[in-house]
Amino acid sequence: MQYDTVIIGAGAAGMMCAIHAAKPGGPRVLVIDHAKAAGEKIRISGGGRCNFTNLETAPDRFLSANPHFCKSALSRYTQQDFVALVQRHGIPYHEKTLGQLFCNTTAQDIIRMLLDEMDKAGAEMRLETRLVDYSKTDPGFALTLETDGQRVPVTCRNLVIACGGKSIPKMGATGFGYEIARHFDHTVTGIRAGLVPLTFTPDETEEFKALSGLSCEGALSCSGGPYGKARFREAVLFTHRGLSGPAVLQISSYWREGLPVTLALRPDIDLLAELKRQKTANGKRHLATILSDYLPKRLAQSFAEHAGLAERNIADIGDKVLAALATTIQAREIRPAGSEGYRTAEVTVGGVDTAGLNSKTMESKTVPGLYFIGEVVDVTGWLGGYNFQWAWSSGWAAGTAIIDR
Ligand code: FAD
């Protein structure tokens, strides 16, 4: 069987690429996926409502060894372009917070929209199909696809790798894209789980165990990793194993083993100034009660108990002790033991080295007709719809380059 383009992976990037690489009556485009359904990660994303883009998308919200690489695709297929597509399909959506756009009803609306667009463009799709063999030929590629134990030889001029990263292996994430990249002599940068909860050491697990399930406005910062300094101010959630919540997921992409992260609870107030004010105004109140003016009750109680001051009136506590307590609450250094890994990570940080790819087209600089798009590439977005926008933009960049090729 002969195709102009074969795309491996019917996820966000692969479907977007198919929509733009195909044309009714034009070159044949086939998308394959080993899963039973297309867009499985879209289906589960954003708690089932898909945070499909972010109005504040800008290159500085993406991590990559080359921070300039993502600029071209993001500027040529923007968040507004994707929003316009969503609007054309009459999909109801809303902005939740920080520019994050979510479907009102279900993420299935986005999957249906992409399938509908693929259908209109005349792209074909085969599910439960695997690529079992591949090689470069002079005009393109020779592939062997397997469906239901049946092997079929296929040739194509363009081969697009859109198999995503390694996060959530139980949903079929394999890291197959990295294998293909290495086969064609592309470098794959160090990959690791990103947007993932961090875990405590045994000592901290013991210290924080009473707080499991509590969440609080916080800020997490980290420096010394390959992407430099970062600070995120959003909710922090204490779990029975460590820390989670948006601020923690964000910082996890910047964090590396051995580095501390600094946790500030209620970063919106000057806690020491507040404690001193309370000392003057309400000297007879217990410290734990005063702290609960600023923190969830259990958290306040735990900090006061940990300092051995829970039952003390604030007037009896020296300013130095209050300052130390304020530092513990607002500049607490934690050395995470690790992360929860690919099992729960939303993304894979790192990937196919962008030095080997053309940033306008996503085509390999060394293997004509070979393209890498979406999460498999060393471009990782912040939490908040940025990763889907990268999938749409890079998929569009490859698709439009292919149809012009
Ligand atoms: P994927 O969407 O992962 O698609 C890859 C496809 O390739 C899959 O369909 C897979 O089955 C297929 N595949 C893999 N290996 C093979 C193989 N060997 N043979 C054939 N097919 C193969 N990002 C956001 O921007 N907003 C969100 O709300 C959001 N929520 C998320 C929630 C969760 C729980 C997770 C895990 C991720 C979330 N993300 C979110 C991240 C986002 O889902 C990914 O960044 C995005 O899906 C990447 O798109 P992709 O097309 O590159 O890869």
Enumerate domains of the chain plus CATH numbers: 2-192+341-404 (3.50.50.60), 197-339 (2.40.30.10)
Q: Provide the pLDDT confidence category of residue 26 given band limits of 50, 70 and 90.
A: confident
State whether the beta carbon of 130 lies less than 6 angstroms from ligand 1.
Answer: yes
Pocket flag, ligand 1, residue 387 (CB < 6 Å): yes
Distance (Å) from CA 42 to ligand 1 centroid = 7
Q: Which two tokens stand for residue 390?
A: 């990268």
* Whether residue 394 has pLDDT greater than 90: yes
Query: Which atom of ligand 1 is nearest to 171's Cα?
Result: 11
Question: How far is the centre of ligand 1, averaged over its atoms, from the C-alpha of 10 (Å)?
Answer: 9
Q: Is 12 in the pocket of ligand 1 (CB under 6 A)?
A: yes
**Share of residues in the chain with pLDDT > 90 (%):** 92
On the question of pLDDT at 324 being above 90, the answer is: yes
**Three-state SS across 280-312?**
HHCCCCEHHHHHCCCCCHHHHHHHHHHCCCCCC
CA distance 298 to 212: 10
For the chain, give the percent of residues with pLDDT over 70: 100
Coil/strand/helix, residue 142? strand
246 lines ligand 1 (CB under 6 A): no
Closest alpha carbon to 352 in 370, 335, 325, 328: 370
Q: How far is the CA of 164 from the centre of ligand 1 (A)?
A: 5
What pLDDT was estimated at residue 346?
Answer: 97
Is pLDDT at 310 greater than 90 in this prediction?
Answer: no
pLDDT band at 56 (very low <50, low <70, confident <90, very high): very high
16 HSE (CA, 13 A, CB side):
30
Q: Name the residue with the closest Cα to ligand 1, atom 12.
A: 9
Structure confidence by residue, pLDDT tens digits, 177-213: 999 999 999 999 999 999 999 999 999 898 888 889 9
Q: Is the pLDDT of residue 170 over 90?
A: no
Is any ligand 1 atom within 6 A of the Cβ of residue 82?
no
